[in-house]
């Protein structure tokens, strides 16, 4: 059985042309115009469709340049943790959900880390319970960890930040001279757009194919609109404006479907 899946930009453009009548009908849309409309469709797909993004964790070390300008350029952030060469990078960030806590109270990885010391002193209680009894052995340790988290929130609360895709900057609301040292490790939780040329199944998505086809139809109508009401051989007339209206109605329906059925739930940020 042949594999008819669409797996490239060229395949998807040809699919849209065929859906609109090619080769029976001459589609009056330039290839570059079609490529531009595909970019528009892919942008909406990445911003609004849950299959267009992946949630990932980006690690980063503060540099001297970051400290001097007081913000981080996301283009300098490497690929998401744990994934290989096709992994999204900071350039693909759509939104940042969280900056993980990096306070000195619990982030140290040596034996003087407060969590390490607490676990060491309470290890016997974890296995045997409080004072060697069998009552609730793990509950005491869980309570201790919750208490440490509460202390963290009091003495070193999570840092707030600002990020906009248009600026590609992360501004952390803190004193960069004392709190964010050069070499400080940070971890961000973010939504990142998937590259369709690496994850080609995106091109074969049902809703993307429908949406892109209607964008091409609207472009076709716009191209023809300057010849509106010119008679054709056989008695017909060009109807570019009507084609634009028909396509726009379908585009509105598809966008509404994306927003209601395929968009991920909003993520609430506390800080």
Report the pLDDT value the prediction gives residue 145, as an integer from 0 to 100. 73
Per the structure, how many domains does the chain have?
Answer: 2
Q: Cα separation of 80 and 252, whole Å? A: 34
97-101, 150-154, 248-252, 258-262: which has the highest mean pLDDT?
248-252
Does residue 150 surpass a pLDDT of 60? yes
Cα separation, 56 vs 188, in Å, equals: 8
**Range of lowest pLDDT (51-60, 99-108, 109-118, 241-250):** 109-118
- Could you read off the pLDDT of 204-221 as tens digits, one per residue? 999 999 999 999 999 999
Using the CB atoms, write b or e for 175-190: b if 16+ within 10 Å. Answer: ebeeebeeebebebeb
pLDDT bracket for residue 262 (50, 70, 90): confident
The answer to whether residue 171 is domain-embedded is no
Domain of 16 in residue numbering reads as: 1-49+205-265
179 assigned to some structural domain: no
Q: What is the average pLDDT score of the chain?
A: 82
Residue 138 forms part of a structural domain = yes
- The answer to the question of residue 229 being in a domain is yes
Mean pLDDT of 56-82: 89
Q: Alpha-carbon distance 126 to 129, whole Å?
A: 6
**In this predicted structure, what is the pLDDT of residue 1?**
42
Would you state the pLDDT for residue 151? Answer: 72
Phi, psi for residue 184 in degrees, rounded to 5: -65, 130
Of 93, 126, 155, the one marking the end of a domain is 155
Q: What is the pLDDT of residue 269?
A: 45
Nearest to 225 by CA among 242, 212, 248: 242
* Residue 108 included in any domain: no
Q: Is residue 74 part of a domain?
A: no
DSSP-based three-state secondary structure for 163 = strand
Q: Can you give 209-244 as a three-state secondary structure string?
A: HHHHHHHHHHHHHHHHHHHCCCECCCCCECCHHHHH
Tell me, yes or no, whether 122 lies in a domain.
Answer: yes
Q: Is the pLDDT of residue 194 over 90?
A: yes
Structural domain contains residue 44:
yes
Q: To 5 degrees, how large is the angle CA 117–CA 122–CA 125?
A: 170
Residue scoring higher pLDDT (267 or 74): 74
Residue 271 pLDDT greater than 70, yes or no: no
């Amino acid at each position: 059985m042949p594999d008819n899946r669409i797996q490239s930009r060229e395949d998807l453009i040809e699919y849209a042309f065929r859906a609109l009548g090619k080769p029976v009908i001459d589609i009056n849309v330039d290839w570059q115009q079609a490529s531009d409309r595909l970019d528009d469709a892919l942008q909406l797909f990445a911003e609004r469709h849950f299959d267009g993004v992946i949630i990932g964790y980006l690690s980063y070390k503060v540099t001297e340049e970051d400290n001097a300008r007081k913000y981080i350029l996301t283009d300098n952030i490497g690929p998401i943790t744990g994934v290989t060469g096709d992994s999204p990078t900071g350039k693909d960030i759509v939104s940042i959900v969280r900056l993980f806590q990096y306070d000195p109270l619990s982030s140290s990885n040596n034996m003087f880390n407060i969590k390490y010391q607490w676990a060491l002193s309470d290890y016997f209680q974890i296995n045997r319970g409080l004072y060697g009894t069998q009552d609730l052995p793990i509950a005491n340790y869980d309570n201790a960890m919750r208490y440490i988290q509460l202390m963290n929130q009091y003495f070193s609360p999570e840092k707030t930040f600002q990020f906009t895709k248009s600026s590609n900057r992360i501004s952390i609301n803190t004193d960069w001279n004392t709190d964010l040292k050069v070499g400080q490790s940070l971890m961000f939780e973010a939504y990142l757009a998937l590259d369709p040329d690496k994850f080609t199944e995106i091109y074969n998505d049902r809703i993307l194919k429908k949406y892109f086809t209607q964008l091409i139809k609207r472009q076709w109508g716009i191209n023809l609109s300057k010849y509106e009401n010119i008679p054709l051989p056989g008695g017909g007339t060009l109807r570019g404006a009507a084609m634009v209206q028909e396509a726009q109605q379908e585009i509105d329906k598809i966008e509404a479907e994306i927003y209601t059925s395929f968009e991920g739930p909003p993520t609430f940020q506390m800080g």
